[in-house]
Amino acid sequence: MIDRSDPAAAIAAAAERNSNWGRWGPDDVRGTMNFLSESKRRAAAGLIRRGVSFSLAQSFDVNGPQKGWRRRTNPVHTMLDTGTDATAGIQGFPHGLGGADDVIAMPLQCSTQWDGLGHIFDHGYAWNGRPAASVVTSQGDSVTGIETVAGVIAGRGVLLDVGRCLGDGGELPDGFAITAAHLAATIERQGPTSVVGRGDIVVVRTGQLARCRREGWGDYAGGPAPGLSFTTADWLHDAEIAAVASDTWGVEVRPNEFDDAFQPLHQVAIPHIGLFLGEMWDPDALAVDCAAGGVYEFWLTAAPLPITGAVGSPINPIAVK
Amino acid sequence: MIDRSDPAAAIAAAAERNSNWGRWGPDDVRGTMNFLSESKRRAAAGLIRRGVSFSLAQSFDVNGPQKGWRRRTNPVHTMLDTGTDATAGIQGFPHGLGGADDVIAMPLQCSTQWDGLGHIFDHGYAWNGRPAASVVTSQGDSVTGIETVAGVIAGRGVLLDVGRCLGDGGELPDGFAITAAHLAATIERQGPTSVVGRGDIVVVRTGQLARCRREGWGDYAGGPAPGLSFTTADWLHDAEIAAVASDTWGVEVRPNEFDDAFQPLHQVAIPHIGLFLGEMWDPDALAVDCAAGGVYEFWLTAAPLPITGAVGSPINPIAVK
Amino acid sequence: MIDRSDPAAAIAAAAERNSNWGRWGPDDVRGTMNFLSESKRRAAAGLIRRGVSFSLAQSFDVNGPQKGWRRRTNPVHTMLDTGTDATAGIQGFPHGLGGADDVIAMPLQCSTQWDGLGHIFDHGYAWNGRPAASVVTSQGDSVTGIETVAGVIAGRGVLLDVGRCLGDGGELPDGFAITAAHLAATIERQGPTSVVGRGDIVVVRTGQLARCRREGWGDYAGGPAPGLSFTTADWLHDAEIAAVASDTWGVEVRPNEFDDAFQPLHQVAIPHIGLFLGEMWDPDALAVDCAAGGVYEFWLTAAPLPITGAVGSPINPIAVK
Amino acid sequence: MIDRSDPAAAIAAAAERNSNWGRWGPDDVRGTMNFLSESKRRAAAGLIRRGVSFSLAQSFDVNGPQKGWRRRTNPVHTMLDTGTDATAGIQGFPHGLGGADDVIAMPLQCSTQWDGLGHIFDHGYAWNGRPAASVVTSQGDSVTGIETVAGVIAGRGVLLDVGRCLGDGGELPDGFAITAAHLAATIERQGPTSVVGRGDIVVVRTGQLARCRREGWGDYAGGPAPGLSFTTADWLHDAEIAAVASDTWGVEVRPNEFDDAFQPLHQVAIPHIGLFLGEMWDPDALAVDCAAGGVYEFWLTAAPLPITGAVGSPINPIAVK
């Protein structure tokens, strides 16, 4: 049971139980991505059976979910050159060549993304026990920048479609806290292809995105949502997964499970477990395929842009079955 | 032989010989990505043998190659929240939580990227014969935006290390035009794992990036470079590849092979063949591995960010062997 | 009377009656700013009597009125260097120096601003009869870019506080169309210091901004608003003013006075009269002073940033009395 | 004489001699702008004699002087809507309306600008003795943000054309340190209209910008330049001016006058004197007029954009004589 009045104590206890500080040496910058070894990757290759592929990314555009909280806006995409310009003959290229170029300005946390290890701190400490101020300054994350995992995030993905297994019409209601028992029940219901093990990238589908797609974004960005219970910290740690992602803004259940709290599971998962969190993924098309075929595992590549010093990255995760 | 004085005629002839307009119906938006079928993807899965993975992306930061041509700048990454702020205790979060967020502003053509099908026009026509002005406006590419191939670019990759096979010290000199004969010689030299076929993503390594890494960017962005000869248009078409990428700014040899020209191969490849071009990739670590093991094929995922209406996308291509 | 069903005819007629095309020669780029002559400026200097100054700008930040229409977002201001970083000692400067730098990304039309002469076209024609496509491309406005009036917008300003004169509690209701008669009544009520003449910059206060400040932005950006009636086109032309500004999003009354219309007064005022429109100004502090002292004229400087090729500019207009 | 080996001691001594901390109370946010009183502004109105106006701003575009130091780039201006689009008939507006909109992304320190009071710190202290970390975080300057002086920067400007008075061909060489004696000699040479007093905004012309305009930017951004000697700190303080600006990147002479130093005069002027510094101004057209007429004083408005929390602002200063 959670003591709703004392998040600090609960966080400290969960952090102590689940800390991976030092597990991969004092210089480690990859956290749980260390679990995603070459042998795990090799084994996962066998999951590509039909050759069918799925993008797990939302659209990146001004119609996204962001509402401006902490200056998180939706992406703004503008053109430097266009077809209308080319047709108007004003581009100055020879022999009939025309071209179009474009620009984007966006928070790295605006849409489908990875939280990197420099994204969250606990009492001034970042992953592996480093002082936050020595890791992330205005110059960016000089230690655990997302570029440090540029080449590694490819391996076995597992969909835990909690929404479909335990929800009504495939969707969990906002505020639904997914516990370890719910995860176990989902795995049980889905069958052996969804057993979770070391190095896996776990995608938890709540169904909230499907609801928002139908009813509008509403408070998708930071408002009430289904999501992982704070109590899953131990499960996330003990399972030795490489990463966990969901179809919600913030992976965790919202409102959080303490009277005064803000993303307490993040505070354990990122700085203490060293776990990568994927947010605002879109697993819906994949989920339909998984449900239809009863196969919940797949080859997954979710490569961050190697933006030097970034504490996260927009991504387009590709699942192949 | 190329008549250096008449690029327009050469382009028109090459376009006519190699046009894929209508090949996949009037509504097609994927061009040569249609070659990357599920069966091709299924077959490519077997290339994951050791589980070793490689990022083929350059760094995304202000130290990149761009010099401002047509407002193409290097990425500017800034922080919305930092560890120094968290440590200073000014973030306002409860229970010791601290966070870091960030923002990026960048041209989509600034670093490792795909040219989408709306990137280049020939005499006012875009891929599949559509008028350019009806495809790409200031609102973006409303037909062939890069989001249309968000889920498909995963399959067999082949490295053609022309620099290592035909160059001095692993590098071709600037201005070296790689012909179909050079490509054939490279394949011959590298052996059967580098045979190119339908649906493959071909990565041509010239060695220029290695030279720039050693000597500085210089005119990497648009200046003299080794690259594909204009005459490879037929090879690119006939091979039925899904895409071709290189370690240079513009894939094509620079200066171009006409007296007054600008990227003439683009003008055939993108609007007429419907071919995706990958630019500024970094195949060097992969190339070392390929040369050491004699295996030049691999599983490749190069997923664009699904930026709605974009004519290209920054990417982090991941090769797994 | 306006025929609500035929905006095109009304616009065409108003354009013909009020056209200034050719008035300042075929090469003119300043439109009505030509009225703001040195002699007008000299005369206006006498309006600085007490030395008290007022900013007529709204704040530029993420809390502004924009809601994303046509990708108009609020400004995003981020830091490149901070005091927390300086204090953390990570900046690398010698002898105890610390610094802070910052960046902004914003639409030029996001807050207090000038519409330049390249901002609006009528049937493909821009100011002075130029084809719009030859004026404003993706490269910007190559003819009437806002930089062409960088040095001239300083002279006599006149506040017409229609909200205070004719409104309830100092505010006109949304949808209130200010006619020439209302303007005349306001001038009459305010007295001789508000007589409008050649070269003046007229600031029309509706009171809507005060209402939004009290009640929230709501649909300030593009929704219902008090503003100039379409029928004031003749007044704006005949008065030979240099510019007109208001405290609303779009100067004109909203909804517009035709069944199917979008900013029809803009379509006459900018391309045909060559008139500069100021939007989202904040005249409220100035208005209190004007009402208290009965003096509605002042020295006004409203200098655009000379952004090369811009069709408008954010501004901070300064009134001095 | 400056002891070139001990900048810290020289800075500390100059700071102590010239500190204005507490002069305007503990809550002050305006520093030397307090000198620009209503009476000063009233007196300055008389300087508008001919009605001729001058912009003192450089162009804001990608061709500016920035080279990327500390992520300071040149402005990137892009279009959201264009005349080519309007002509192509794809904008969707009724009754023949067409429009153009635009966006800018730029460091606030990229071109003609004010350094605000939060821009520079001395040993962790900002203006008026506040700890830097309590003033400027990633959220911006919460105390002395540039918006706090949005309405006040209008008054008497004085041009000290040191380049024309003491230079060769109107230009001082790079590395030329302008001392108080040089300033006095310039005032003497220019005559009584250039006497500097309380509340004035002093524009120091070195001629470097004219040289760059002729020869290219070179190292304008941060490289060798003529400018104020560190020793002018006392002059700047004692003169009780409101602000000082110049036509160089950094106001101060470069290289700085200590063996290992970076902008030491800033370190005294901004946090201790509370002085606003204007950089990259373009006084050249004004200077020609001043020299021709022998009148070096003028009405000057240099209004920052009220970007909430900004440590500086791009500006278009307007001088009227």
> What confidence tens digit (pLDDT) does each residue in D129-175 have?
999 999 999 999 999 999 999 999 999 999 999 999 999 999 999 99
For D80, the closest of A78, A88, A138 (CB atoms) is: A78
Q: Which of B88, B102, B138 sits opposite A312 (nearest CB)?
A: B102
Residue C295: predicted pLDDT? 98
| Neighboring chain D residues of B74 at a CB cutoff of 8 Å | 68
The answer to whether the beta carbons of residues A186 and A194 sit under 8 Å apart is yes
Please give the residue of chain A at the shortest CA–CA distance from D70.
Answer: A139
Q: What is the pLDDT of residues C210-243, one digit of tens each?
A: 999 999 999 999 999 999 999 999 999 999 999 9
B contact test, residue of C78, C85, C137 with most B CBs within 10 A: C78
pLDDT tens track for C243-298? 999 999 999 999 999 999 999 999 999 999 999 999 999 999 999 999 999 999 99
Which chain B residues touch D82 with a CB distance below 8 Å? 138
Closest by Cβ to A90, choosing from C76, C81, C137: C137
Closest approach of D10 to chain B, Cα-based (Å): 29
Distance from CA of D1 to the nearest CA of B (A): 39
What distances in angstroms separate CA C24 from CA A293, A306, B261, C147, one per listed residue? Answer: 74, 54, 42, 18
The reply to whether residue C78 touches residue B80, judged by beta carbons under 8 angstroms, is yes
Cross-strand partners of A225: A254
Contact D137 B105 (CB under 8 A): no
Q: Which chains touch D (3 or more CB pairs under 8 A)?
A: A, B, C
Instruction: Using CB atoms, pick whichever of D100, D107, D136 lies closest to residue C118.
Output: D100
Residue A38 to residue B231: CA distance in whole angstroms = 41
pLDDT at position A128 is 98
Chain B CB contacts of D68 under 8 Å are 62, 74
Interface of A with D (CB under 8 A): 76, 78-80, 82, 84-85, 87-88, 90, 103, 105, 138
When CB atoms are compared, the residue of D68, D76, D138 closest to B82 is D138
Question: In this complex, which chains have at least 3 CB pairs below 8 Å with chain C?
Answer: A, B, D
pLDDT band at A103 (very low <50, low <70, confident <90, very high): very high
Yes or no, beta carbons of D82 and A82 under 8 Å apart: yes
Q: Which residues, 6+ apart, have CB-to-CB distance to B109 below 8 Å?
A: A101, A102, B72, B115, B279, B312
Of all residues in chain D, the one with the smallest CA distance to A90 is: D84
Nearest to B76 among D73, D79, D81 (CB): D73
pLDDT at residue C1 greater than cutoff 90: no
pLDDT at C173: 98
CB pairs under 8 A between A and D: 29
Distance from CA of D56 to the nearest CA of C (A): 8
- Alpha carbon distance D283, D244 (integer Å): 13
**Cβ pair A79:D84 closer than 8 A:** no
Longest dimension (CA), chain D: 73
Contact D87 C305 (CB under 8 A): no
Interface test with B, best of D66, D81, D138, D143 (most B CBs within 10 A): D138
Question: Testing the interface with A: which of B63, B111, B121 to mutate, by most A Cβ within 10 A?
Answer: B121
pLDDT of residue D189: 98
Query: Is residue D2 predicted with pLDDT exceeding 90?
Result: no
Residue in C90, C138, C141 to test binding to A, most A beta-carbons within 10 Å? C138
Q: List the one residue out of A289, A43, A50, A153 whose CA is nearest residue B44.
A: A50
For the stretch D147-162, what's the b/e string if a residue is b when 16 or more beta carbons lie within 10 angstroms of its beta carbon? bbbbbbbbbbbbbbbb
Which chain B residue lies closest to A85 (C-alpha atoms)?
B133
Distances in Å between the alpha carbon of B178 and those of B173, B291, C145, D75? 11, 20, 44, 38
pLDDT digits (tens, 9 = 90+) for A38-55: 999 999 999 999 999 999
Instruction: Evaluate if residue C2 carries a pLDDT over 90.
Output: no
Residue from B20, B61, B74, B6 nearest B233 by CA: B20
Whether residue A124 has pLDDT greater than 80: yes
Query: How close A49 comes to chain B (CA, Å)?
Result: 6
Provide the 3-class DSSP secondary structure of residue D59: coil
Task: Enumerate the residues of chain B whose CB falls inside 8 A of the CB of residue C140.
Answer: none
pLDDT at C146: 98
Q: Write down the mean pLDDT value for chain A.
A: 97
User: What are B117's two structure tokens?
Assistant: 């099908």
The Cα of B49 is separated from the nearest Cα of chain A by a number of Å equal to 6
Nearest by Cα to C9 from C310, C245, C258: C258
Q: Which of A51, A93, A305 comes nearest B262 by C-beta?
A: A93
Q: In what order do the strands lie in the sheet with B130-131?
A: A97-99, B120-122, B125-126, B130-131
Predicted-complex ipTM score: 0.97
Tell me which residue in C68, C90, C137 faces A137 most closely, judged by beta carbons. C90
Percent of chain C with pLDDT over 70: 100
From C254's Cα to the closest Cα of chain B, the distance in A is 25
Min Cα–Cα distance to chain B from A239, Å: 21
Cβ contact (<8 Å) for C140 and D98?
Answer: no
Nearest neighbour of D105 by CB, restricted to A79, A105, A138: A105
Q: Hey, of B78, B80, B138, B142, which one would you mutate to test binding to chain D, going by the most D CBs within 10 A of its CB?
A: B138
Q: How many CA atoms lie within 13 A of B110 on its CB side?
A: 28
What average pLDDT does the segment A296-315 reach? 98
Residue D105: CB atoms within 10 A of its CB come to 23
**CB-CB under 8 Å, D307 with C96:** no
The pLDDT of residue D47 is above 80: yes
Spans of chain B below 70 pLDDT: none
pLDDT at C93: 96
Contacts of A76 in chain D (CB under 8 A): 103
Query: Do A71 and C80 make contact, defined as CB atoms within 8 angstroms?
Result: no
Which chain C residues touch A92 with a CB distance below 8 Å? none
Nearest to C211 by CA among C249, C174, C264: C174
Are residues A80 and D82, on separate chains, in Cβ contact within 8 Å? no
pLDDT tier at D252, thresholds 50, 70, 90: very high
Contact A84 D85 (CB under 8 A): yes
Tokens for D233?
Answer: 């700190």
Look at phi and psi of residue D43 and say left if phi exceeds 0, alpha if psi is from -120 to 50, else beta. Answer: alpha
Cis ω on the peptide bond leading into residue B255 (within 30° of 0)? yes
Does D137 contact B85 at a Cβ distance shorter than 8 Å? yes
Nearest CA distance, B83 vs chain D (angstrom): 10
Q: Determine, for residues B90 and D62 on separate chains, whether the beta-carbon distance falls below 8 Å.
A: no
- Cβ separation of B73 and D73 shorter than 8 Å? yes
d(CA A134, nearest CA chain C) in Å: 8
Record: contact B79-D134, CB cut-off 8 A? no
- Average pLDDT over all residues of chain C: 97
CB contacts of A256 in chain B (<8 Å) are: none
Using CB atoms, which chains have 3+ pairs under 8 A with B?
A, C, D
- Give residue D274's region: left, alpha or beta (phi > 0; psi -120 to 50): left
Closest to A217 in 3D by CA, of A318, A78, A112, A67: A67
Question: Among A130, A226, A222, A131, which Cα is nearest to A186's?
Answer: A226
pLDDT score for A2: 85
